[in-house]
Structure 1
Amino acid sequence: MIEFHQVTKIFESNGNKVEALKNINLTIDKGDIFGVIGFSGAGKSTLIRTVNLLEYPSAGEVLVKGKNLTELSKYEIREAKKDIGMIFQHFNLIKSKTVFHNVAMPLLLSGYNKKSVEEKVFEILRFVGLEEKAKNYPDQLSGGQKQRVGIARALITNPSILLCDEATSALDPETTKSILKLLKRINKEYNITILIITHEMEVIKEICNRIAVMEDGQIIETGKVFDVFANPKKETTRNFVKSVIRDEVPKSVYQLLREKNHYSRIFKIEFFGANSGQPIISKTAKVYDVEINVLFGNITELQGIPFGNLIVELIGNDHEINRAVEYIISQDIRVKEVTEDGSKYRNNIKCVVGNTLHG
């Protein structure tokens, strides 16, 4: 549906050059809700704006439904853009126009007759839950209602692609949830491919099926949302994942553990899908000569699949601790040993069969 081939974007100002995008290669499939996440300045907004030529790439190709828009005539570009809706962080509504006319604007500019415009506008307003606000002006609306107007305006031309540039970052958490729920409904009922740019990992977790992580104008990691959350490969990605899935032991807890008069090691135990329901902790404590102290626990859901982790202290001698860890691994559960320096994970544990834990 959308393809980026070696896309580069360079901005020039007062003789200075800034490379906002660096050889981007990315494919977004039909029906995806695809999220691009990154910190400010990563290049994500520039990336999304190349899809509808709000920014022209300096090099490379951006293909939309197999067509490179930069090779089309001005008329062909205008027609192609009708198939690409866009919603913005700050709504971009015309304050002097009613909700009806804000939504109707793309059709009015295209010369549609009054009756068909009215029918289409009220159909879309009903869909986004704003039919009763048709005569209101933007200043009379809440932030969430303004964004629903922006969504309605983007849908009015029956696009097959919807671009969302930080569409929820100006909204409170509850309103954000309602907007994300609406976007999922749009994707399902209208079969619209959605590309979302955000710096909020919670948005990615809630709505997207695939993700790309950007840093310094480059894509540093991409994949299915579940895979990226479960096994982030880059430090930036890990930091984003931690903003949603807490899995660090506070320094004060390490201090308390050091003060205890016993030998122990700390492990992170990760649960996926069906194994989330296993009573693995109680079983391990019964079979092996170890005490298990649960320091932290967290469970969430990614694309309908349970995903969680426990941080536990295993108390006992090395031999029994390793036997207990081997048993947990044998239940198809991933285990990583936690070290105090920055709560990093050590994947290799002495005496464990094969010397390597799953993951």
Structure 2
Amino acid sequence: MIEFIETTKEFQVGQSTVKALNHINLTVQKGDIFGVIGFSGAGKSTLIRTVNLLEEPTAGQVLVNGINLTSLSKKQLREEKKKIGMIFQHFNLLNSKTVFENVAMPLELAGTQKTIIESQVSEVLAFVGLEDKANRYIDELSGGQKQRVGIARALVTKPKILLCDEATSALDPQTTKSILELLKRVNIEFSITILMITHEMEVIRDICNRVAVMENGQIIEEGNVLDIFSAPKEDTTKNFVQSVVRDDIPLSIYEQLKENNGSKRVYNMKFIGVDVGQPVVSQVAKRFNVDVNVLFGNITELQGIPFGHLIVELVGPKAEIQKAFLYIQHKNIQMEEVSAHEGERANHYRRSVGYAVHG
């Protein structure tokens, strides 16, 4: 388990003090694959580096399995750090050494016996699928193979925690998928807790069970992945979610709503689990005196659970629209009305984050 308690990290930049972490309170439970996402400069890299004291907190605590590493002697700290593995965005491998030698380095530095080194290195290379590359040099490998070497090196000391610092952002989508599948195996087969930082919401969707969103050195939203994807609260979180689950509405629709005389309403419908298969739209069209126009829809999968968005326009008498709205709500489907005012806010936010405004 990893626990951040009022964790603060400040850097001195010239005459100014920059607060990279601002009173972080966050708990990563044993067995989690916990993702931390944020834009560049949000503080996520600093956060993960405080876990193994690559960055020492200015104030507050970071507890690893209940132990505050800053309170340990150098010898005790070395022993605890063996329980924390780390993989990096740009691999951090030595081109002058073979795959075997790179993976063996943590054990050699710890003074491990040669026979044990040979056994443990061979074991982890087989696990990551590189047993046939043991004697190759690093510059002979592909990017995905290099990251597998990095994972093997992190696993060779048999850690309890694995820190992933943008571990897939330098890889192509297909290789990213294979690395994420490997990390899932690491989590399940070795019971290793994984804390990973990323700026890719696809990574959060595909591997994490919990996620925290960072902005300006603070956690602005945190929860299980299904809850965050289905009901994001903060604008930054919504922006990340929309990069994977497209539910943003063309601004032309908002413009039409400004001239609405009450005969139409636009709703964002959210389906989770078995609700995805309900023929709600056709039922509404049959039961009520309304026309139903589907403006946008998609289905994705989160932690094995289907999750769908459907943006619909209901056109007809106010009373019939209200009946249709209540009918859909009784089906346990989330319904959020889309207003012209929300369009103005969406337009402002898209411009502030560099979205291409469409419609």
- With the shorter chain as reference, the TM-score category is over 0.9
- Aligned 1:75-114 pairs, distance under 5 A: 75-114=75-114
- Aligned 1:1-359 pairs, distance under 5 A: 1-252=1-252, 263-341=263-341, 343=343
1:338 CA drift (Å): 1.3
1:13 CA drift (Å): 3.2
Q: Secondary structure at the match of 1:19?
A: strand
Q: Secondary structure at the match of 1:9?
A: strand
Q: Secondary structure at the match of 1:24?
A: strand
1:318 CA drift (Å): 1.1
Give distance in 2, aligned partners of 1:334 and 1:261.
Answer: 25
Give distance in 2, aligned partners of 1:343 and 1:204.
Answer: 27
Give distance in 1, aligned partners of 2:136 and 2:294.
Answer: 55
1:273 CA drift (Å): 1.0
1:340 CA drift (Å): 4.0
Q: Secondary structure at the match of 1:324?
A: helix
Deviation string, structure 1 residues 175-204 (Cα, Å, up to 9, x no partner) = 111111000110000000000001111110
Deviation string, structure 1 residues 81-101 (Cα, Å, up to 9, x no partner) = 000000000000001000010
Give distance in 1, aligned partners of 2:313 and 2:16.
Answer: 54
Give distance in 1, aligned partners of 2:170 and 2:146.
Answer: 11
1:275 CA drift (Å): 1.1
Q: In angstroms, what is the RMSD of aligned CA positions?
A: 2.0
Give distance in 2, aligned partners of 1:340 and 1:299.
Answer: 26
Deviation string, structure 1 residues 65-115 (Cα, Å, up to 9, x no partner) = 111000000010111000000000000000100001000111111112222
Give distance in 2, aligned partners of 1:74 and 1:268.
Answer: 56
Give distance in 2, aligned partners of 1:58 and 1:80.
Answer: 21
Give distance in 2, aligned partners of 1:307 and 1:344.
Answer: 27
Aligned length: 346
Give distance in 2, aligned partners of 1:255 and 1:7.
Answer: 45
Q: Secondary structure at the match of 1:31?
A: coil
Structure 2 residue runs without a partner (length 5+) = 346-359
Deviation string, structure 1 residues 264-322 (Cα, Å, up to 9, x no partner) = 22111110111111111111111111111111111111111111111111121111111
Structure 1 residue runs without a partner (length 5+) = 346-359
Give distance in 2, aligned partners of 1:220 and 1:328.
Answer: 31
The alpha-carbon distance between structure 1 residues 26 and 234, as it changes in their structure 2 partners (threshold 3 A), is same
Normalising to structure 2: TM-score of the pair? 0.92
**1:355 match:** none
